[in-house]
Amino acid sequence: MTLKLHSHPLSSYCHKVLIALYENDTPFIAEIVNLGDANAKAQFAALWPTAKIPLLEDPAHNRMVPETSVMIEYLDRNYPGRNPLLPAGVDSRLDARLWDRVFDQYVMTPMQQIVANRLRPDSERDPRGVDEAKSTLAMAYEMIDRRMANRTWAVGDAFSIADCAAAPALFYSSIVAPFPSTHAHLGAYFERLIARPSVARTINEAKPYFQYFPFKELMPARFLN
Ligand SMILES: N[C@@H](CCC(=O)N[C@@H](CS)C(=O)NCC(=O)O)C(=O)O
């Protein structure tokens, strides 16, 4: 009756949920989904039609939980541990959800657009889309730099769902669109994130797969060894 995370070791959204699971040593098994295989994808889509990874299966409650932000709230409520990932106060919970959305929509999404563009044949590439994604990232980097000027984590004093979203989004975005040297608070926040044991473990476990990342030539050596 163990939780099962349908996932892939290279996927940034899967990293977001792995970080949440490792924060509280929540027992689970990972099942690799190969979305590149049409049959595997069709079988997976039968579980949840978007066929996006990850998908959390909870046999104990006979429940499939899609969407990473919902998964982390679900884990927080049903499998609580030493590190609550949603703050207790109503206003701070709203803030945590807000910053979770900011990292997903304004860092993860444009980062994914840039990566997806690289995977396409030359004739289907979209330079304007890549420029727009880079502008969105520049806006988000500025916003996060200001936010992190006088705080350790994205919301309140404790590591939260917002930091679970931030870590993989900034990990991959920092490779495809490096942080400007002027954004010292953003850079320092990123270093704190990757030093967090749950994040370090997630990155470490993904290392054998980074050779398949479409921008592997830009990946810093410290993430490859
Ligand atoms: N909003 C979704 C996004 C999940 C998502 O975009 N997952 C990516 C992997 S990081 C995926 O499944 N991509 C494959 C595809 O779009 O076909 C969530 O938070 O769970």
Q: What is the DSSP string of 89-111?
A: SHHHHHHHHHHHHHHIIIIIHHH
What pLDDT, in 10s, does the model give residues 184-212? 999 999 999 999 999 999 999 999 999 99
DSSP H or E run through 7: strand 3-7
Using the atom order of ligand 1, give the atom closest to the CA of residue 52. 12
- Cβ < 6 A, ligand 1 pocket: 11-13, 35, 52-53, 67-68
Residue type, 153: W
What pLDDT, in 10s, does the model give residues 70-106? 999 999 999 999 999 999 999 999 999 999 999 999 9
Give residue 11 CA to ligand 1 midpoint distance, Å.
8
Question: Using an 8 Å Cβ cutoff, are 100 and 161 in contact?
Answer: yes
The pLDDT, as a whole number, for residue 1 is: 86
Q: Can you list the positions of beta strands (E) in 50-155?
A: 55-58, 63-65
Among 13, 105, 172, name the best residue to mutate to test ligand 1's pocket (greatest count of ligand atoms within 8 A of Cβ). Answer: 13
Which is more confidently placed, 224 or 27?
27
pTM greater than 0.95 (yes/no): yes
The pLDDT, as a whole number, for residue 22 is: 98
Average pLDDT over residues 133-156: 98
The pLDDT, as a whole number, for residue 225 is: 73
Beta pairing partners, 56:
5, 65
The pLDDT, as a whole number, for residue 195 is: 98
Residue type, 17: V
The pLDDT, as a whole number, for residue 157 is: 96
pLDDT-derived band at 37, boundaries 50, 70, 90: very high
Give residue 149 CA to ligand 1 midpoint distance, Å.
30
What pLDDT, in 10s, does the model give residues 57-78? 999 999 999 999 999 999 999 9
Give residue 33 CA to ligand 1 midpoint distance, Å.
12
Average pLDDT over residues 163-189: 98
Alpha carbon distance 34, 29 (integer Å): 16
Residue 117, pLDDT > 90, answer: yes
Average pLDDT over residues 15-24: 98
Q: Residue 159: helix, strand or coil by DSSP?
A: coil
Alpha carbon distance 207, 9 (integer Å): 9
